[in-house]
A = this chain, B = another copy of it.
Amino acid sequence: MNESTELLSVRVAELYYEESKTQDEIGALLGVTRWKVGRLLAYARDEGIVRIEIVHPRARRLAVERELRERFGLQDAVVVPVPIVASELGGRVSQAAADFLAAMRPVPRVLGVSWGRTLSDVAEHLAMGWAVGVKVVQINGGVSLNRRPGTAANTAVMIAHKASGQAMLLPSPAILERIETKLAIESDRTVASVLGLAAEASAYLYSAGVADRSSVLVDSGYLTSADVDELVRKGAVGDVVGRYIDANGNIVDPGLNERTVGLGLDELRTAQTSIFVVAGEHKHDVARAVVTSGLCTVIVTDEATAQSLLEEIS
């Protein structure tokens, strides 16, 4: 298009969007037909001369969501714009996850949840009465060894509480030192019943950790920095419900995996609905591993992460 078309479309856009005149009026004013005005308007939108933006903390990027759904065959995707203040990002995504949970139909009878910073944040953002009578089951161990005691348990309890439901905690460490202990604790009636319920959950909600020394699993003493270094050397990009995966979503260390208490990755993969909440640049790699390996059916994330997932040539 030439210069004068552009200038004219700017005039037209101003009169249409700022002065809310009709295309007909604008046509009369500028001496062109109303159809031309319509086309100039379309041109202005296409060229980005007119920018329409939805500014709201709860806004979503539907176009990106659609792309994610299509590209990865997801049930659903929720993508929030990146806020100007970077520190708000986690909150925005958690809020979106909470909104998604509250809007789920049918309401899950049994909801399996993991724990961690992100999950606890989601729990915080859920509104009181977001659902009624949901049974919340913890899907991986971790009670009490955490530095801030109770955080792990708190997540499940809060989510259940806000839905006037019942929380079922997994009374077990996340990772045990010996496989025998793990098998023994798994066969304990209380643990077994929780794991049984977890396997039957109608939906799962979890996040992922990055494979580095700052991991909450290191922080909690389940792993040493050296352990993590070794896992990274073997290709680990992060952990999902306490299990370390590589870029293809495969278990990095089968021995370690055997000693980890909780839902297995296969159960997550075959689940009807598993909601993956992830935010922030440092989690792009894990996010890619989770999404491409089919670990989730729903993703809740920020636009930058979504773009990074879509960027792949694949």
Interface positions of A (Cβ within 8 A of B): 6-7, 10, 13-15, 17-19, 44, 48-56, 58-63
Contact = CB atoms under 8 A, between A and B. Distances in A.
DSSP majority for the A interface? mixed
A229 to B, nearest CB: 44
Contacts of A62: 14-15, 18-19
Contacts of A17: 52, 54
Given A18-B63, A63-B19, A10 B58 contact: yes
Given A10-B59, A50-B52, A51-B52, 20 more contacts: A6-B56, A7-B58, A10-B54, A10-B58, A13-B54, A14-B60, A18-B52, A18-B61, A18-B63, A19-B63, A44-B54, A49-B54, A49-B55, A50-B54, A51-B53, A51-B54, A51-B55, A52-B52, A52-B53, A53-B53
A53 B48 CA distance: 10
Interface centre among A10, A15, A48 (most CB of B within 10 A): A10
Which 10 residue pairs spanning A and B have beta carbons closest together? A10-B56, A51-B53, A17-B52, A49-B56, A13-B54, A52-B52, A18-B62, A19-B62, A14-B62, A51-B55
How many copies of the shown chain assemble into the complex? 2
Contacts of A51: 52-55
Contacts of A15: 62
A154 to B, nearest CB: 26
A15 B60 CA distance: 10
A14 B54 CA distance: 7
A50 B52 CA distance: 7
B63 A55 contact: no
A28 to B, nearest CB: 16
15 contacts: A10-B56, A10-B59, A13-B54, A17-B52, A17-B54, A18-B61, A19-B62, A44-B54, A48-B55, A49-B54, A49-B56, A50-B52, A51-B54, A51-B55, A53-B53
A114 to B, nearest CB: 27
B7 A54 contact: no
A19 B53 CA distance: 12
A6 B60 CA distance: 14
A125 B59 CA distance: 42
Nearest to A60: B14
Contacts of A50: 52-55
Contacts of A52: 17-18, 50-53
Contacts of A63: 18-19
Contacts of A14: 54, 59-60, 62
A296 to B, nearest CB: 23
